[in-house]
């Protein structure tokens, strides 16, 4: 084996290791809307999310009017930091539960019917994924 081949192989291994460490997807066939673990396309959400998205875009009415559309404080700091009134939360029903359940859509910025950003949490704000296509 030639010295250049060894160096090229070593460089490729180091590049792949660094990409993995920093979370860079080197797959040219990757689809960011479906492959990014921090992104969740509408089609991947529970069926109960679609009417909530429609309600947000139309300005209501909401399933839980005393709760839906209310302030979400982002106290855990899992979403990008914004001013206090930026985020609003909406309930996504969980079939079989007698209460609101843990699923939420959180929107931020924009207007009441045209938010700038959309997030989904299936575990009552313990984790989030960005919904890139909520308004499509």
Domain 31-130: CATH superfamily is Microbial ribonucleases (3.10.450.30)
pTM over 0.75: no
Burial of 46 from C-beta contacts in 10 A (0-12 / 13-18 / 19+): middle
Q: What is the pLDDT of residues 55-76, one digit of tens each?
A: 999 999 999 999 999 999 999 9
Domains of the chain, by residue range, sit at 1-30, 31-130
Average pLDDT over residues 2-6: 57
Residue 47 CA: distances (Å) to CA of 12, 28, 113: 43, 30, 21
Predicted confidence at residue 119, as pLDDT, reads 98
Q: Which residue is associated with the tokens 């109960």?
A: 48
pLDDT score recorded for residue 5: 60
Q: How far apart are the first and last CA of the chain?
A: 53
> ω into residue 103 within 30 of 0, thus cis?
no
């Amino acid at each position: 084996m030639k010295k250049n081949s060894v160096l090229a192989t070593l460089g490729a291994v180091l590049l792949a290791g660094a990409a993995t460490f920093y979370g860079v997807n080197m797959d040219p066939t990757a689809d960011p809307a479906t492959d990014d673990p921090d992104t969740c396309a509408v089609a991947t959400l529970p069926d109960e999310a679609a009417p909530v998205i429609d309600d947000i875009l139309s300005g209501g009415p909401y399933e839980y009017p005393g709760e839906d559309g209310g302030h979400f404080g982002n106290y855990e700091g899992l979403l990008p930091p914004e001013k206090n009134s930026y985020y609003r939360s909406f309930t996504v029903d969980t079939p079989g539960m007698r209460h609101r359940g843990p699923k939420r859509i959180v929107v931020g910025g924009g207007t009441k019917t045209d938010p700038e950003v959309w997030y989904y949490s299936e575990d009552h704000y313990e984790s989030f994924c960005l919904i890139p296509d909520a308004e499509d």
